[in-house]
Structure 1
Amino acid sequence: MERPIFLVGFMGSGKTTWGKKLANAMGLPFLDLDHEIVKHIGMSIPEYFALHGEDRFRTVEREIMQQQLGKTGVISTGGGTPCYFDNMDWLLEHGTVLYLKHSPKSLWNRLSNSDVNKRPGLKGMTGDDLLAFIETKLAERAPFYERSSIIVDQINTPLEELVNLLKR
């Protein structure tokens, strides 16, 4: 497979976990865009957000994303990556885009069991506040995610089925 597979979806949707599984199953390299950004900026993403703001982060994110041009394999993106600039157009033009879809409640369950303070937009959020945030943000981002080449219900789609969908 020459074109990379870009995984998109809301934070906590499993892009990194499933990206590694897919890459392994397909014999492809795996790259996490957020890890590449951290290497480039020399600090954590929450630290960068706090120091420079989201606009500057999104510009760096786009630059790092575009530096992946010509690479093959499975590339997990950040939750907001496809939603800024013309990033989704770029992803679709240069690869196959797989959306790992979840319901707000599913994302709430997953994010409630993680360290929300490591995620710039969620610091200190819990319970109903977290669910309301997810519902609002997911509604804003869904039009971008829904443009993906392939959309799967991440919870109910086994790895073998994902591999078969991507090999078509």
Structure 2
Amino acid sequence: MHHHRNIVLIGMPGAGKSTVGVVLAKTLGMQFIDTDILIQERAGRMLQEILDTDGPDAFKRIEEETILSLHSSRAVIATGGSVVCSEDAMAHLKSAGLVVYLEIPYAEMEARLKNITTRGIVLLPGQSLRGMYDERVPLYERYADLTVACSGEDLESVVENVIKAL
């Protein structure tokens, strides 16, 4: 395993990128970075606020700038679900790390996102959750170096499965 490289977690909202990321970083002795938190720090606002006030395009632009300004090594990086919508951001992340796709089926994502209005989920105008899911799956699959199925697995098993896959 390339210990100087980053491990980048991608996947649907609710897939567990942040929670898995923290435990993974702890287990591997790496730094942990959550790009959603960096975006909030950079913008001085909550994700949902940025989406409500400025709209999805502005949000994606801030997300892309935030990721392009990241120059870390030996970090586990949890990304926002919409990061795959930016080719530049993904190229930057892939150049410095291994991309791991935490895969969950639609029904599970829907169940995990009980309160969708405050989660800062980037839906295009008129786009349904299902539409967002179907649009992003091929993107996650395209950028993933490794895919780890997370359906019905508890946190510890997912972390174990990611480490095995690495």
TM-score band, normalised by shorter chain: 0.7 to 0.9
**Unmatched 5+ residue regions in structure 2?**
none
- State the shift of 1:122 in Å: 8.0
Aligned partners of 2:9 and 2:100 also within 8 Å: yes
What does 1:64-83 align with in structure 2 at a 5 Å threshold?
64-83=66-85
Once residues 21 and 34 of structure 1 are traced to their aligned partners in structure 2, the CA distance between those partners, rounded to angstroms, is 17
**Corresponding residue for residue 145 of structure 2:** 149
- State the shift of 1:69 in Å: 2.0
**Corresponding residue for residue 5 of structure 2:** 3
Aligned partners of 1:107 and 1:134 also within 8 Å: no
RMSD: 2.0
Once residues 163 and 112 of structure 2 are traced to their aligned partners in structure 1, the CA distance between those partners, rounded to angstroms, is 23
Once residues 87 and 159 of structure 2 are traced to their aligned partners in structure 1, the CA distance between those partners, rounded to angstroms, is 31
Once residues 36 and 4 of structure 1 are traced to their aligned partners in structure 2, the CA distance between those partners, rounded to angstroms, is 17
**Corresponding residue for residue 137 of structure 1:** 132
Once residues 113 and 122 of structure 2 are traced to their aligned partners in structure 1, the CA distance between those partners, rounded to angstroms, is 9
Residues 48-75 of structure 1 show CA distances to partners (whole Å, capped at 9, x for unaligned) of 1122221111111111111212332101
Query: 89-98 or 20-29: which moved more?
Result: 89-98
**Unmatched 5+ residue regions in structure 1?**
124-131
Aligned partners of 1:31 and 1:74 also within 8 Å: yes
Once residues 86 and 142 of structure 1 are traced to their aligned partners in structure 2, the CA distance between those partners, rounded to angstroms, is 18
**Corresponding residue for residue 60 of structure 2:** 58
**Corresponding residue for residue 47 of structure 2:** 45
Q: Percent same amino acid at aligned positions?
A: 31
Q: TM-score, normalised by structure 1?
A: 0.84
Alignment coverage as a number of residue pairs: 156
What does 1:63-142 align with in structure 2 at a 5 Å threshold?
63-112=65-114, 115-121=115-121, 133-142=128-137
Residues 5-43 of structure 1 show CA distances to partners (whole Å, capped at 9, x for unaligned) of 110001000000000111111111111000011011101
Aligned partners of 1:88 and 1:144 also within 8 Å: no
**1:141 is aligned with what amino acid?**
R
Q: TM-score, normalised by structure 2?
A: 0.85
What does 1:17-28 align with in structure 2 at a 5 Å threshold?
17-28=19-30
Instruction: List 4+ stretches of structure 1 deviating above 4 A.
Output: none
Once residues 122 and 144 of structure 1 are traced to their aligned partners in structure 2, the CA distance between those partners, rounded to angstroms, is 15
Once residues 121 and 151 of structure 1 are traced to their aligned partners in structure 2, the CA distance between those partners, rounded to angstroms, is 22
Aligned partners of 1:116 and 1:122 also within 8 Å: no
